Amino acid sequence: MIHSLMKPVLKRLPAHFFRLGSGREPVREWLKKLDLQDRKIIGEDIKDVEFAWPIGMPLVRGLGDGLWEVRSSLVGGKIARVIFTVEQGSMILLHGFITKTQKTPKRDLDLALHRKKGTGA
């Protein structure tokens, strides 16, 4: 029997869902509403960030104020964004949305920043 001496590749930045005081996880709920193909694309992109952090464009863009976004290209020309922060060696998924523009809307950025302040990051 041959045993591999290679160490398993560990996540450098494991992802966790931001949780409201009520226990709800808005990004998980948003993802569940998307169709399977879109969920798979976004999930693969988040996984790529978990294992390759730190990573830059085109997959991840810094937004300032300790916020980053995972940029996923979906079918039909749609673009998904998942805004996250890094806290204690984890990526905290704060907010997710679909957009048709390259620019992150201010209201989405403000919501993510508000949630970040609730994490203690």
Of 106, 47, 100, 107, nearest to 74 by C-alpha is 100
Is residue 56 assigned to a domain?
yes
CATH number of the domain where residue 19 is located? 3.30.2310.20
State residue 120's pLDDT score: 59
Is residue 40 assigned to a domain?
yes
Is residue 3 assigned to a domain?
no
Sheet holding 60-64: strands in order across? 15-17, 90-99, 79-87, 67-73, 60-64
Is residue 108 assigned to a domain?
yes
Is residue 69 assigned to a domain?
yes
Which two tokens mark 115? 């949630």
The number of domains in the chain is 1
pLDDT, tens digit only, all 121 positions of the chain = 455 565 666 789 999 999 999 999 999 999 999 999 999 999 999 999 999 999 999 999 999 999 999 999 998 889 999 999 999 999 999 999 999 877 889 999 999 999 999 865 5
Is residue 1 assigned to a domain?
no
Domain extent, residue 26, equals 15-117
Spatial contact of 49 and 59, defined as CB atoms under 8 Å apart: yes
